[in-house]
Chains A and B, each alone.
Chain A
């Protein structure tokens, strides 16, 4: 049986410029502290969030992130959903490989964020945009 996920709070933030990344990270941190997430998990979550926000800026000129506090059974966590209306990713599996990048970066953003998160989901449609969802459980 799958335990349903309960939404406890929801906040939206737009990330349109490079200067928005630091305030966005701070907001994520506030929510993570509220659910008493440990320091290591906090750092992993915020680093993943930073990678995904940067990707969104670089490839899609920014987008919207929703920051949600969720619960599943006794566990609480943070769910971040990054939505952009950029060009989309042609080959998602390739983009999830370490070291692959169409930009001039190390190609660690997506695969790194996937490793740092507890759960990871990506949907992308060419010409329409990309949606990336990550969950970090407070104790996961």
Chain B
């Protein structure tokens, strides 16, 4: 049974998609990610799609779903590394990637996640995780 590994990096989860996603694999990933966010109290998800050649409307919907579900459990999602040809195709297809942030590469995506989560913690003193920043 194929599975896409989810790595934990501090308060973020890291997913690198390196195979063509068929439907079952994509749906499993969606479910696994949300479970994992709950289990690890992750505040952010970073999805690296630099090795993905095709994003069709099904996969686009999976990505948007992940973003929406993560948001409900208080986590942000960043998609990084989209190939130029994929970006051109997505626009022509008319697929909006709602609910997720995008960044050029993993490094910039990580910075983006950190800024989102840290800013929230600064502005919200009642946040449960506010005290964890030193850990």
State the CA gap A27–B76 with chains docked (Å).
Answer: 37
A47 to B57, CA, bound (A): 9
* CB <8 Å contact, A115 and B24: no
Instruction: Point out the residue from A18, A42, A47 that lies within 8 Å of B24, measured CB to CB.
Output: A18
Q: Is A50 a contact partner of B54 (Cβ separation < 8 A)?
A: yes
* Total A-B pairs, Cβ < 8 A: 68
Q: Taking the complex as formed, is B20 at the interface, i.e. its CB lies under 8 A from any CB of chain A?
A: yes
B105 within 8 A of A: no
Q: Which of A25, A40, A98, A111 contacts B89 (CB 8 A)?
A: A40
Chain A interface extent, by class: 20 to 34
A 22-61 contacts with B by CB, 8 A: 22, 25-26, 39-40, 42-44, 46-47, 50-51, 54
> What residues of chain B have their CB less than 8 Å away from a CB belonging to chain A?
20, 22-24, 53-58, 60-61, 83-86, 88-89, 92-95
A sample of 17 cross-chain residue pairs with beta-carbon separation below 8 angstroms, ordered by A number, consists of A18-B22, A40-B84, A40-B85, A42-B85, A43-B53, A44-B88, A46-B53, A47-B54, A47-B89, A51-B56, A106-B61, A108-B93, A112-B57, A112-B95, A115-B92, A115-B93, A116-B92
The residues of A with any CB-CB pair to B shorter than 8 Å are 18-19, 21-22, 25-26, 39-40, 42-44, 46-47, 50-51, 54, 98, 105-106, 108-109, 111-112, 115-116
Rank and list the top 5 A-B pairs by shortest CB-CB distance, nearest first.
Answer: A112-B93, A43-B85, A50-B56, A108-B57, A40-B85
